[in-house]
Structure 1
Amino acid sequence: MSIPAYPEPALTSTNRPLIEGWRRGELMLQRCSACSEIIFFPRELCPRCWSSELTWERSSGKGMVVSFSRVYSHVTEPFVVESPTVLAEIALTDGGVLLARVITTEPEAMQSGIGVELVPMPEAARYPLPTFRPIV
């Protein structure tokens, strides 16, 4: 069975470096030049100090699952075909926290504290936003 394509995120001037980086297989994060806060999701102002002096940097793409949820019920393709899916809060080793999908063949084995890494290209090309997998 073929899996339908995911909806594409709307490309804006604020999220363009994130989306274009992901298309290259990189996780790009913002850093506030004023307070050094790592920022995800892309914004125009730092949520910590309200500075607009934000730069982009490449993340290692490695982190740890802080918390997660297994999602069993979907109404939108292609998620129905891939159910259950795992959505996790991930603390990145180089700073910052984000909410992202974790691709795993064993969603029931997911637990807090598991190390994860960015899904590499070309496998990642089918996912429109940064996606992770357990480190084995």
Structure 2
Amino acid sequence: MLKKISKSEDEWMDELTPEQFRIMRLKKTEPPFSGEYLGVDEEGIYRCAACGNKLFSSKNKYDSGTGWPSFYEAFNDGHIEIGIYSPHGTEVLCGQCESHLGHVFEDGPKPAGKRYCINSTALKLDQSVREYAKKGSREDYYGTPA
């Protein structure tokens, strides 16, 4: 289980860029086709830009044609949280700092059938763990706990 990070909005404002704060704390959305990670095919783990939590593996990234980086599966259960449903989709939050990441839809590719549309501004690609990213999830890498 992840240890929760709790900070005041003033603390987040001091730590995040204005655009990160707008998207991650005020729950806004970056314009489609504008994010830095949209067309990136590099291997690695996508982490929360606010707290560094592992969110998604590059192995599970795909081009959904929607204008945002899309993933069909989260890195691990508990690393993300599902928030409130809205006409824009169901909100996706970081499981550690509860920052807004984007939205999830039930129309993604098999086997998971999910489409996590995530704001690039909410992500940071960690390429120091490329081998880990190839495996997908912690269980894939280390094996299922006994």
What TM-score, normalized to structure 2?
Answer: 0.29
What TM-score, normalized to structure 1?
Answer: 0.31
* Greater fraction of residues in strand: 1
* Greater fraction of residues in helix: 2
